[in-house]
Structure 1
Amino acid sequence: MIQYRILCFFLFVFISTFAQVKEDKAVDDLNVKALKTYPSNSREAIQLLQKAEKIAKSKNLQLSLAYTYNNRGIVTRVIGDYPKAIDYSKMALSLTKDELIVASSHNNIGACQRNLGLFEASLRSFLAALKIYDAKKDFLNQAIINNNLGLVYKSLGVIEKAKTYHQRAIEAYQKLNHKKGLSEAYNNLAIVYVEEDNLEQALSYFKKSLDFEIQLNDKRGMAESFNNVGGVYYYLEQTDSAVIYFNKALKTEYSNRNFAGLASSYNNIGDVHLYKEDYNAAKKCFDSAFFYANKSKSSFDIENTLNYYAMLYEAKNDYKMASEFYKKKGVFQDSIQKLSNVKQLQELETKYQTAKKDTEIAKNRAELAENELKIKQKNTIIFGSLGFAFVLGLLGYLLYNQQKIKNNQLIKEVELKAALVKIETQNKLQEQRLQISRDLHDNIGSQLTFIISSIDNLKYFDIAKEKLVSKFDNISGFTKNTITELRDTIWAMNKNAISVEDLQIRITNFIDNAQLATHGISFDFSIEDSVNAAHEFSSVEGMNIYRIIQESVNNAVKYANASQIKILLKQENNKMIFSIKDNGIGFSESEIELGNGLNNMKKRALELNANFKIISEKEKGTTVLIEKEIS
């Protein structure tokens, strides 16, 4: 399908920090000129920033160097090299604590992380920047962060929240009469309406964005807006208009040298050729798109192009090649998820090699010491009497032999301890994998079996259309729940440890989705200041805590007839306490039969080695408590 370029708005560092960077006028002037130049000529902007960097290094100006590095990161992100852009902004963070440069760096890193598909990390980076701008009452940059938060929530599928943040940004930009900001916000809001299939409204907002970009003569913004307007025309089946706009975008992206933008434009034009069944022209476009997607290292563009290849061969009835590209797409998706694991393995390998070298050095030193001892013994034998020398030689031999035995024993003890530690670590990892595997088998396996059984049963019944639609709706809802649980399990498996902050983000996303799916129920999630946010649980512990909270909320929604559900996390000494409370109809535990949900919660609490309590009274609501001892 047509790919819309989402615009992550950049922070204008020269507006908010220029007055504070007064170390060197030449460096400041070069930075200001670069930031004015890069929308129309990114190559010239990079050359200006390289000159500024050289001056700052020669004069050892740390603040100016940090300022220059972050601006280099912004320009590098604009041309689509996201990993290198992150490196530049991190270099800026390592050089200064200036709040405006720090906030701008976090925003740029967050925008790159969003483009690389690291949505939770992106959310943390944007919130770190927003915290600084809120404290400074910087309304322009508050609007920028609100726009970027809307993008992240759109990527997470929380559409209404995404609309809210983009509307906030538009209102702020209108008060400030900020044309660039209005262009970015209208563009991103239009993409949300595309997601909802409201194409006429989306086209209206895309054209507003394009008008502002033309007024500003921002070639990068013009290229992205051309692409987006063309995309809507394509979906409206006005393909001639779509091709006109896509070619305008392609021409502009070439002048910008924006590799990610070129990949997007070629994919869009190729999609039109695919629609018209001009397969040779489509393949040429997809080949160009794949080349530029790899050059920009944009995971989204690479995955999108692989999908287009599969669609092309499927349309040509070459199912073998189509299958190959679908497999390549799957392998690529898996490789993205495993990047963090590969990095950890590389770090472990480095530590192992360092320890090995230290052991070899220690062994060499021991051998040198032994050689020195032998030399001293020989000198003593030469200058001593034969009898006295014989005695000393005998004693020296005995001492050497005893020391050798001790050294061998120490080496064996060290090797045994290392082997025991390795075995213990492997056992813990295997135990966690088995527990997560059981969770996958018990939950996901049973749910998929139910879906298959439900679909198979439809073959044996003569069902009216309305009932058939209802049946499929039920199966669809059950399938979505299964996918959500699978994503939650994968989230836990990809982490060696789950922090309180990770749980907070995951629970917040779950509560946001529950709020959208229900009516008449107020949700509240809070964490007391006493809680140690840096505390980490194992992946299995974190998964079990999340599942208990999820099951408690679902039970309250389904059975409690509640109007309010509160989730509270607090810490008392060495206890972490999770509380899920509703104001529903309550129940008497002695009068009801425990279902699978309550039994599963008790089972998970037992695996957590945590105290689990259900406090309920008819007409007075229900409270679920989890008390977990922490070290």
Structure 2
Amino acid sequence: MDSNSLKIDEEKKYMEVIYQKLRNSKNDSITRNSYFKLAIKYYDNNSLDKYLNATREVHSLSVKDKDSTQIAKSLYYTGEYYQDKTQLDSAFYYYSQSEKIYTKIKDTLNSGRVSLYKAGILYEAGNYIESEIEAIAALRLLSKTSNTRLIYECHNTIAISLKELNNYTKSLEYFRLAIKQLDKLEIENYPQDKIINSRTSCYNNMGRVYEKMGKYEEAIQLYEMGLKTKSLKHDYPKLYAMLVSNLGYSKMKLGLNDGVDTLFFESLKIRDSLQILPGIVASKIRIGEYYLYKKDTTKALIYLKEGLSLSKKIKSNYDIIQSLKLLTENDSKNKIYYSNLYIKENDSIQNVERITRNKFARIAYETDLIEEKNEILSKKNTSIIFGSGIIIILLGGFFSLYRLKSKNKELIFIKEQQEANEKIYQLMLAQQSETEQARNEERNRIAMELHDGIVNSVFTTRFNLMQLESTSPNKKQELINELEKTEQEIRKVSHDLTQNLLFDDKSLPEILISLIDAQQNQYNTNFDLSVDKYIDWSAVTSANKIHIYRIIQEAIQNSNKYSQAERCFIMLLKTGDKITIRIWDNGIGFNPEKVKYGIGLKNIKDRTKILQGELKITSSSENGTTLEIVF
């Protein structure tokens, strides 16, 4: 026994002592973390059964202590054990259980990690569509983290899944994204040997995609790039053998047969020495294809049959179908036998794939079902714990209800009073409108009588006077001038009656004060008016004064109806050579873009247009509403 073996035996004995000591230790986070470290040691020494025992032990302790993080971690470790044992359905189950807990405790990194491992299992099982979906879900989570390596693995898994689904363009796109992540890993000082291995694998896989597309020249370039990797044959003989075999195949497809057999046999020799059974099968089938190209059917059939036999032994469905297809096409004596076998195997493989897909779907469903049952049990326990509390709350509720009834009566009375006030306010508005309308009609009538009656009579008298001959021309002209002056004054009175119907003998600021003083609503809004003393009202026409008044009147009415404001300010400001009307309230606001323009707002907009001004409305629930007109 050499010194290395002695060292391994001593390490195993040491780990066994630690295991027994941990079993007698207190159940706390330190003990459980020690179990995880011991499990990793078992895994590194390929003591998988002891690894599983340690993992189950820490899972049991974590459940007892209700430590969700370590429960999820132990389930994830268990999944790794079954994946190494190629028991994919069990691995998928434990990964799914782990993912549920990580998602629940919002551990994004580990949720993404376990989701990625599930994608890998689905790929190994040949369920490429589900593998792509799961890998994309993992990428969404891991993109929120800084784990570049896992993001690379996501891109790579999506790429190889798309390759098997014959979505070659997208596959190449994700391989390029994977290579970009490898570039980032170099900057992050990730172990160089692992980056080289991953990058060379990407070149190989991308070459396989171009190979499937029939672009053999591009494939050859990528294989040769991979083979340029320093010490590849010595450090990574398995990957080297794969690249050599693929290079030979692409050259053969291009008709570049010189040295192709050397490449194939070199690859087979390496794989045989390492006992890489899937690689040996692939090499034998490709050597068979090579001899078919060379029209040496006898040698071709020997290698193809050897490939078929070994592929059955290792249960490689792809290689079984590939070798049977070639034997059916080229073994004329046994064509029917291989044809029937091909059909049978193909149907069998499809059936197995369907069963596998259903199995993983069932595992996912059962995992969700267990989660639902746990939630139901949790809800039942919560109901029992808080049941008595609810009864106490109900009793308190009955007492509160009595008090609320008396309070409601008071609120109903207040509401009725507010409604009554609103009705009174509406009646006042209606009465004010009717009074104003009657006044307007009477003034219009007087103006019309002055214009059509008295003015015409004065004009006729003046005209007749002009026609009379007089001995005193100067006196006559004086009378004519006096009549003309009287006629102009009557016309002015008539005009002012029609233009100043609103104002009587008051100025605009005075009538606005009267308007503000008359305001009353159910919200007891406090209205304030401020008029800039530098505004020259004599320069504002009567018609424009009416528009200003109506705009302010409409804005106040809207505030009364809708704003529920405590305060409302009306300001008329001198801004340069323009006048600004600004009306602000601290009410509930509205969305000017979504609210349709009613008659009131439309009238404000139209009057602003007549004033040749600009209207701006800003409103929000925090800042109330501001209406601003500059003209």
TM-score for both structures, normalised by structure 1: 0.42
Q: Which has the higher contact order (CA 8 A, sep 6+)?
A: 1
TM-score for both structures, normalised by structure 2: 0.42
